[in-house]
Chain A
Amino acid sequence: MRTLAVIVRTTNLRHLLGHGLRTALTTVGIAAGVALVFSISVINTTLLTSFRSSIQNLAGAAELEVAAADQVGIRESHVEKIAAVPGVERAVPVTRSNTLVEGPDGSRRVMILGITPEFVSLFPRGLGSLARVRVSGGFSGPRDAILSKQVATELGLGDDSSFTAETPRGGVRLRMSGTISGGSLAALNGGYLGVMLLPSAQQVFDKTALVDSIYVVVDTGSSTSDVQRAIESIVDDGAIVGAPGERGDGVERVFGGLADLLSLAGTVALFVALFVVFNTMSMSLAERRREISMAMALGAERRHMFGAFLAEAGVVGVIASACGVAGGLLLARLLVVRAVEGYQLLPVQVGGPLVIRPSHVAVAAISGIAVSLLGAYIPARRVLRVAPIEALRPEASYEWSPSTSPRGHRARAAAGATAFAIATVAFMATGSRPDEGWIVQVGLVSGLTAVTLLLPYVVPLAVRILRPLMRAGLGTVGRLAADALGKNPGRTTFTVASLVLTLGLVIGVGSALGSYQTQIERQASALIGAPIYVTARSFTGITSDQPLPADLGARLSEVEGVQYVYPLRFLFLDVEGEQGLMFAVPVEEALEHGADTHTSAITEDPEAYLRTLSEGGVAVSIGTARRHDLEVGDRLSLKTPDGARDFEVGAFYNDLVSFDSLYIDYEHYRQIWRDDNVDQFGVLIEPGADVHGVRGDLQTLVEDTGAPAKVLLKEEVIGDLLETIQGTFELGQGIQLAALVVAAITIANTMFTAVLERRWEMGLQRALGMDRRQLARSVLLEAAAIGLIGGIGGAILGTASGIVMLESMEAQFAWNIPFQAPVLQWLLAVTGGMALAAAVGAVPSRMAARGSIIGSLRYE
């Protein structure tokens, strides 16, 4: 141990310090991977914690929550009935309204709770003791609201100042009658919170006689499960009764799927970081072969040298992990807001501190150190196999990469094939086990391993093809660049592999997303049948926080040029315990009045689809049918205000959301759910009417009425929808970009080490008359060739993975999406790969050209 410590201190650490640039590049490469993994896990946990806290923290001491199964709410009259159930100590009603609040300094989405004085009793020792919440002010009028200090500060609101909250009736002026702060408020909807008295909130947000949840405190000594059963028997509107937070399970499952997708990018980045370490350690060890041999000739043991190199890698790993965690924190802070915007499904806001668990730090740190050790392990073993006397030759320090034995080749090929098989099985299994995120991770890591193990056979082949072309097209300089690629096939392969993997990830996700968007656009164009839509301002593309009142439709119909107006309602609801989305649309009625809707774009049997809706049945998505094992003619139970009700499943359709969805006729929905609200009005215009003129008149009307609505043309509705979908994937794209940065670092690392490795060769070339520009060009061409091969490989891998992803989506969500060849992305991958490589190769090429000839020709 002492010998090892001496070796590490006297040689390894000094070497790290003596090669600052190389050490820095390696550290940055690993740190970037660690930062991605760390930031993704922190973002996901922060969002989930915020979501869970918003549900669970509100419950206080309540053992049970009776929650609405949909966005409409449950009848307030249940509060008394539940309070009367034996064993129930208290039943406390709450409304939750997400609304846009506008103050002097801006606007924010805020969750406003409607509470009764009893709400405080949910926290037996007082709000302060449980959550250290500080409350100032109180309620003295029906338009009073207490806002969190965070909201007040951000929006520039002081005590007694008024602000506007968006409601179904338009903007309503409310008075800030106090503030709340401290405790766990920050985790509650990210601190974007407001409180009103229940009757005021019901009146303002159009929830008369409705509440969203009823929290139930069970008597000491009573059985919670008995009380739950008793409540279930009396709650006839089919609300969800269970432990607080149970209503969020469906949403969490959907969120989990998205979070898994993001984690994949982090895994790829870490994998690529492995190549950075492998490259650097290979070069560094090759350079030190004489030093190592000298130490061994003088009596150092092989195991000590090996341990010293692993210790050196460990030091780099520890530093990189620390930097990665710090960088990841910064990245998480920057991206968490984008994530909130992306996850429109999750009714959550984040404004407080990030949620960092020790496990996040541990996983990130262990990943960084493991990557560093693993990357160093193979080159360290290989270098130490060389006999000391052999390595002491003067030219030995410039040699690299002893050939692999045929047995080694066979073992590598077999391992690659096995990894490929595991990846295939894992991806196929994702369809049947959609909730098991680890299967996807295993598939991904196996796939990456397979690509890495099999690329060493492909890359040299590509170099062999490229070499004569470069020689013929670019002369001696091109020839030297091509030769440089072939000189160190291991390093070239790993560099190309890093580019192939990251570009493959970008193109794979991009082509799958592109195909998805094209299909969405196709379906939207076919289904969105009116030329103009009046849409709730808070409409997110899926549903809206503050829908529009139904009577607005009648006023819209009176506008000149308007032929017919029909309502549309989209809302989340519980479908047999799963998150579901219900589309309530008057399809038949709209078609009769000339809507340009083509249901054949989503269903194979449009007649059955229309007949089902008109007869009061439901059409369910193929994914929903698969998850709930439904056939045409089966009955699906949905929770309605009058209790659970069975609907006949009359048709299937192809939907592109990852959770349950179903269509119902709007009029049936309105009657059954007694919900007059509307998310969108489709506006059909008279033949010959000027669409822009009618739109202008509608806009004027909307402004006059103060309705929280916007008027959009069909194309704009489609555009908004696509934008929403794009937004969902923006975070992933940001992370892909970061993965590309890691790939760029790998190339830079390779080019730097290549230049260092070939110093004498370059010195000789210059001595023989090669000028600086020729030398710089040859290094740049080498980088560009790596970019070209990586780009082509990335395009091939990306296309294949895009197809696999679509197949996986088909298996997992029953999405039927035709693959769109990503031609533009292919071109971008090839040109971008070359440009990226050339850009990061610019510095080493200049370094090579500016180096001293004499210095380069020195033998040591």
Chain B
Amino acid sequence: MSDPAVEARGVFKTYTQGTEIVRALRGIDLAVRTGEFLAVTGASGSGKSTLMHILGGLDRPDEGDVFIGGEAVSALNDQELALIRRRRLGFVLQFFNLLPTLSAAENAAFPLLLDGAADALERAMDGLRAVGLAQRAAHRPAQLSGGEQQRVALARALVTRPAVVFADEPTGNLDSKTGGEILQLLRAAADDGQTIVMVTHDDRSAQVADRSVRLADGLLTG
């Protein structure tokens, strides 16, 4: 059997908030299969965003390890981790998803541009076409609606054909109709074989995923 696309083994994470010590993750073991669409649900403060950050190489665990395509994140330095994020991972965040001075096409092409790919903008245009925004390619984020911005973010997350796309409350800032459209796009990507990890507090959004896990007080409960 092949390695999971991303896997957490015995992950602990603690941080302090003011004088309070928050045990955000308390021994998480989780494997996401290649091509799987996983929803991580939980109440606010349950640790789901922290888990996504650690799985996505944005933060490091205090204990345990994360494996992306079988490669241990703990063995990677910052430079290598940046390359992993650029080439093998994609992100869709809740707020401030796009760089304000770049056009929609440039935003979508950003990871490829960082790599100096000659066909970056062409590939980004393909991505924008796929999310129905080719006609808005030259627009700046400020000229796009919230839903359009999230679609551009999705196009960007998919542009490198990454091993895993992480989506952190991708519909949290949108109305239900627009949010539904975004979920459908994520579903379509998963149907094409894309591995997706989506963090959401909304159980209805989670229904679009192949599998759901629930976090409560830093522990997986289901």
Q: Which residues of A contact B (CB under 8 A)?
A: 394-395, 398, 475-476, 480, 483-484, 486-487, 760-761, 764-774, 852-854, 857, 859
Partner of B82, one of A486, A487, A769, A859: A769
Taking a contact as CB atoms under 8 Å apart, the answer to whether B82 and A771 are in contact is: yes
Q: 3 nearest interchain CB pairs?
A: A769-B86, A483-B101, A771-B82
Taking a contact as CB atoms under 8 Å apart, the answer to whether B101 and A767 are in contact is: no
Taking a contact as CB atoms under 8 Å apart, the answer to whether A394 and B87 are in contact is: no
B45 at the interface (CB under 8 A from A): no
Q: Which residue on A lies nearest to B107, using beta carbons? A: A768
Taking a contact as CB atoms under 8 Å apart, the answer to whether B58 and A475 are in contact is: no
**What is the interface residue range for chain B against chain A?**
20 to 34
Q: How far is the CA of A394 from the CA of B91 in the complex (A)?
A: 21
B100 at the interface (CB under 8 A from A): yes
Q: Which of B35-43, B108-116, B196-204 contacts A (4 or more CB under 8 A)?
A: B108-116
Q: Which A residues lie within 8 Å of B96 (CB)?
A: 395, 398, 760-761, 764, 857, 859
Taking a contact as CB atoms under 8 Å apart, the answer to whether B83 and A857 are in contact is: no
Q: A476-B114, A853-B59 are in contact. Are A767 and B85 (CB under 8 A)?
A: yes
Q: How far is the CA of A476 from the CA of B115 in the complex (A)?
A: 9
Taking a contact as CB atoms under 8 Å apart, the answer to whether A769 and B78 are in contact is: no
Partner of B93, one of A476, A480, A764: A764
Partner of B114, one of A486, A487, A774, A853: A774
CB distance from A856 to the nearest CB of B (A): 10
In chain B, residues 46-94, which have Cβ atoms closer than 8 Å to a Cβ of chain A? 53, 56, 58-59, 78-79, 82-87, 89, 91, 93
Q: Which residue on A lies nearest to B98, using beta carbons? A: A764
Q: Mark B2-14, 1 if CB is under 8 A from A, else 0.
A: 0000000000000
Q: A760-B96, A765-B99, A859-B96 are in contact. Are A854 and B82 (CB under 8 A)?
A: no
Q: Which B residues lie within 8 Å of A772 (CB)?
A: 78-79, 82
Partner of B85, one of A395, A769, A854: A769
Taking a contact as CB atoms under 8 Å apart, the answer to whether B93 and A769 are in contact is: no
Taking a contact as CB atoms under 8 Å apart, the answer to whether B99 and A767 are in contact is: no
Q: Which residue on B lies nearest to A486, using beta carbons? A: B101
Among A760, A761, A853, the one with the most B-chain Cβ atoms within 10 Å of its Cβ is: A853
Q: How far is the CA of A447 from the CA of B7 in the complex (A)?
A: 65
Taking a contact as CB atoms under 8 Å apart, the answer to whether A771 and B83 are in contact is: yes
Q: Which A residues lie within 8 Å of B156 (CB)?
A: 768
Q: Which residue on A lies nearest to B89, using beta carbons? A: A769
Taking a contact as CB atoms under 8 Å apart, the answer to whether B86 and A395 are in contact is: no
Q: Which B residues lie within 8 Å of A480 (CB)?
A: 99, 101
Q: How far is the CA of A607 from the CA of B218 in the complex (A)?
A: 102
Q: Which residue on B lies nearest to A467, using beta carbons? A: B101
23 inter-chain pairs at a CB distance below 8 angstroms, sorted by A residue, are A394-B95, A395-B96, A398-B96, A475-B113, A476-B110, A476-B114, A476-B116, A480-B101, A487-B101, A761-B96, A764-B93, A767-B56, A767-B58, A768-B86, A768-B110, A769-B86, A769-B89, A769-B114, A770-B82, A770-B86, A854-B58, A854-B59, A857-B58
Q: Which B residues lie within 8 Å of A770 (CB)?
A: 82, 86, 114
CB distance from B56 to the nearest CB of A (A): 8
Taking a contact as CB atoms under 8 Å apart, the answer to whether B95 and A859 are in contact is: yes
Taking a contact as CB atoms under 8 Å apart, the answer to whether A487 and B100 are in contact is: yes
Taking a contact as CB atoms under 8 Å apart, the answer to whether A483 and B102 are in contact is: yes
Taking a contact as CB atoms under 8 Å apart, the answer to whether B111 and A857 are in contact is: no
Taking a contact as CB atoms under 8 Å apart, the answer to whether B83 and A769 are in contact is: yes
Among A484, A486, A769, the one with the most B-chain Cβ atoms within 10 Å of its Cβ is: A769
Taking a contact as CB atoms under 8 Å apart, the answer to whether A768 and B91 are in contact is: yes
Q: How far is the CA of A555 from the CA of B53 in the complex (A)?
A: 94
B97 at the interface (CB under 8 A from A): yes
Q: How far is the CA of A772 from the CA of B78 in the complex (A)?
A: 8
Q: How far is the CA of A852 from the CA of B53 in the complex (A)?
A: 12
Q: A769-B111, A774-B114, A859-B96 are in contact. Are A854 and B53 (CB under 8 A)?
A: yes
Q: How far is the CA of A852 from the CA of B59 in the complex (A)?
A: 8
Taking a contact as CB atoms under 8 Å apart, the answer to whether B91 and A767 are in contact is: yes
Q: How far is the CA of A774 from the CA of B85 in the complex (A)?
A: 14
Q: How far is the CA of A106 from the CA of B100 in the complex (A)?
A: 68
Q: Which B residues lie within 8 Å of A773 (CB)?
A: 79
